[in-house]
Amino acid sequence: MPTLESLLEELLLARGPGGQEDEVRDICQRELRELCDEVSVDRAGNVRGVIRAAGNAAPEAAVRVMAHLDEIAMIVRKINPDGTLEVVALGGAEPICFGVCPVEIMGDAGCLPGVLSYGSMHNSGCTPSGRDVLAGNVQWQDVHVVTRCSPDELKAQGVRPGTRVVLARHWRQPYALQDCVAAHFLDDRAPMVAVLLAARQVGQRRAELVQDVWFVFTTLEEESNAGAMYAASRVPGDTTLAVEVGPVLEEYGTRLSAEPIINVGDQKGYYTRAVVDALSAASRRAGYEPQIALLVDFASDASAVLSQGTVARAGCLAIPTENTHGFEVVLYEGITACAATLTEFLLQPPE
Model pLDDT, residue 56: 80
Of 57, 61, 91, which is closest to residue 74 (Cα–Cα)? 91
Q: Which residues touch 265 (CB under 8 Å, ≥6 apart)?
A: 271, 294, 295, 303
Mean pLDDT in order along the chain per 10 residues (351 residues)? 93 97 98 97 98 88 97 97 97 90 96 93 79 81 96 98 96 96 97 98 95 98 96 96 98 98 96 98 98 96 94 97 97 98 96 81
Model pLDDT, residue 114: 98
DSSP letters of 47-58?
EEEEE--SS---
Q: What does the alpha-carbon distance between residue 263 and residue 316 come to, in Å, rounded to a whole number?
A: 5
Rg (CA), the chain: 21
Q: What does the alpha-carbon distance between residue 169 and residue 163 come to, in Å, rounded to a whole number?
A: 17
Delineate the domains of the chain, giving CATH numbers in brackets.
4-71+185-347 (3.40.630.10), 73-171 (2.40.30.40)
What count of Cα atoms within 13 Å lies in the side-chain half-sphere of residue 245? 30
Compute the Cα dihedral for 262, 46, 193, 185 and give only its sign: negative
Q: What does the alpha-carbon distance between residue 186 and residue 168 come to, in Å, rounded to a whole number?
A: 15
The DSSP output letter for 136 is: T
Instruction: Say if residues 53 and 212 touch (Cβ distance below 8 Å).
Output: yes
Number of neighbouring beta carbons within 10 Å of residue 239: 24
Burial of 291 (0-12, 13-18, 19+ CB in 10 A): buried
Model pLDDT, residue 240: 98
